[in-house]
A and B are shown apart, each in its own frame.
Chain A
Amino acid sequence: MKKYEAVIILNPNLSSKVDTFTKDFEKLLSSNSFNVVKYEDVGRRQLAYSINNHNKGHYLLFNIEGEPEKLIEIENNIKYNESIIRHLFISVKEHLGEDSQLLVDSKNRKTEAEEIESKKVEKEPEVIKPTNKVETEEVNSQEEAEEQEQEKEQEKSEEVKPEEDKDE
């Protein structure tokens, strides 16, 4: 018995079919007398570079244990599956019981996104309140702001020119 970690990157367009894929894959593992110790569905994640014109991938992590000879058969089975854009089997000394950092990061990202959305919902009702008078004031202030910006830009352009002269 050797311990392995399997990472499988699925085609992001097939994200909805992940459950069926994992069931098939676990059947394949069990038919080759492999145990699944832990299974993590990390979810869709931005790839650092595009693989087969995919910019995102659905990451699955498996902690498995079984015989090395059987692993070759599993890999041969997976090789020509077109829904997998990349796979890796790596042998490890020990399986860590904890969640992997990838899963933790993806969970953190989801909670942050939810918090931002909830804040947006809270803010929206406040925007509707202002009366007509306030709106006219806002328009004036916007015009003033634009004028100030233009002045600043002019100042910047004036500042930049002397420096260019020095360089020459």
Chain B
Amino acid sequence: MSKYNLPKKFDYKNVNILKQFITETGKIIPARVTGVSASNQRKITRYIKIARFLALIPYTDMHN
């Protein structure tokens, strides 16, 4: 069983799923740590970056 809650289709609007793949400081967790398949990891990184732009996820914990 995967320790992550993976959806059928990734989406930048599904913040709860994307939050599993960022650290407390907001960094994207690398694939060698997550163990997710390469294609899923690419999707995750792409949608995390979109969600960051839309202020759904922080870039860092240093925001004022």
Among A49, A57, A86, A102, contact of B59 (Cβ-Cβ < 8 Å): A49
Contact of B55 among A86, A96, A100 (CB under 8 A): A86
Do A86 and B54 contact each other (CB < 8 Å), given the known contacts A101-B14, A102-B13? yes
A36 interfacial contact with B, CB 8 Å: no
Interface residues of A, CB < 8 Å — how many?
17
A49 and B15 form a contact (CB under 8 A):
no
How many interface contacts (CB-CB < 8 Å) are there between A and B? 41
Q: How far is the CA of A70 from the CA of B12 in the complex (A)?
A: 25
User: Is the pair B13, A48 in contact by a Cβ cutoff of 8 Å?
Assistant: no
Interface residues of A in 149-164 (CB under 8 A from B): none
Interface residue tally for chain B (C-beta within 8 Å): 18
Cα distance A11–B16 in the bound complex, in angstroms: 24
Residues from chain A with a CB closer than 8 A to the CB of B50 are 88, 90
Known: A48-B63, A49-B63, A50-B64. A101 touches B11 (CB 8 A): yes
Q: Which residues of B contact A88 (CB under 8 A)?
A: 50, 53-54
Least Cβ distance of A150 to chain B in Å? 36
The interface bits of chain A over 92-106 (1 if a CB of B lies within 8 angstroms of the residue's CB, else 0) are: 000010001110010
**Cβ contacts B38-55/A at 8 Å (1 or 0 each):** 000000000000101111
List the A residue with the shortest CB-CB distance to B64: A50
Q: What are 23 contact pairs spanning A and B, CB under 8 A?
A: A9-B55, A48-B56, A48-B58, A48-B63, A49-B59, A49-B63, A50-B64, A51-B55, A86-B53, A86-B54, A88-B50, A88-B53, A90-B12, A90-B50, A96-B9, A100-B11, A100-B13, A101-B11, A101-B13, A101-B16, A102-B13, A102-B15, A105-B16
